[in-house]
Amino acid sequence: MATPVIKEGGELIVNAGKQVTLTCSGNQTVKWDIKSKKWSVKQFENFSELKIKSPSYKETRSYRCVYNDTQNSGMASVHLYVKDEQNYWNTPQGSLIKVVEGKDATLPCLITDPSIPKTNIQLESSSLNSANISFDYHKGFTIHGVQPNNDGHYICKATVNSHVRKSLQMTLHVTN
């Protein structure tokens, strides 16, 4: 069976406060796999609409649409960027990331404006110690093959027009 389709495509960029509607359709009943009191969802026979009346930077994330039937593994996703001049980052408050030594750790600081070049995005910590790090606009920073010396506090930074904006602090705890 074909996978569901999200009308808005793989990425959508909106300004904070501007209503957004995401529409997913498929060959059978589909649903959004994330819920919030800030959103409304309308279910129809073979499609579903997720509406955010006044999105803020906190709605920056990937939204997934799946078939209602758990036997069918079809899935589609769209990454929503909610641009906000005051908030460049959507980072869960009090983020504690636990990871086993040698595995990859993703620090979920999501940039709210994809036009900010990767060269202006940094990860700040006294625990980096030449770690192998990559950045993905949809996921945040990934520290590959974490070691015990990567244990510590992290902040994501973005520089735009000489203004530095920092994320909330995240804590990485490495276990063995």
| Identical fold, 5-83 and 89-175 | yes
pTM: 0.88
Give 141's Cβ-side CA count (13 Å radius): 26
Separation CA 22–CA 137 (nearest Å): 20
- Residue 11, pLDDT above cutoff 70: yes
Measured CA to CA, the distance from residue 121 to residue 108 in angstroms comes to 14
Tokens matching residue 140: 């945040």
pLDDT digits (tens, 9 = 90+) for 96-148: 999 999 999 999 999 999 999 988 899 888 767 656 899 999 999 999 999 99
Binning pLDDT at 50, 70 and 90, where does residue 4 land? confident
The span from the CA of 56 to the CA of 19, in Å, is 10
Task: Give the alpha-carbon dihedral of 57, 156, 139, 43, to 10 degrees.
Answer: -20
| pLDDT beyond 90 at 68 | no
70-99 pLDDT, tens per residue? 666 788 999 999 999 889 999 988 789 999
Fold of 89-175: Immunoglobulin-like (2.60.40)
Which pLDDT score, from 0 to 100, does residue 72 have?
Answer: 63
The domain defined by 5-83 folds into: Immunoglobulin-like (2.60.40)
Q: Are 57 and 16 in contact (CB under 8 A)?
A: yes
CA nearest neighbour of 48 among 38, 60, 33: 33
pLDDT attached to residue 7: 86
Domains in the chain: boundaries: 5-83, 89-175
**Percentage above 90 pLDDT, the chain:** 61
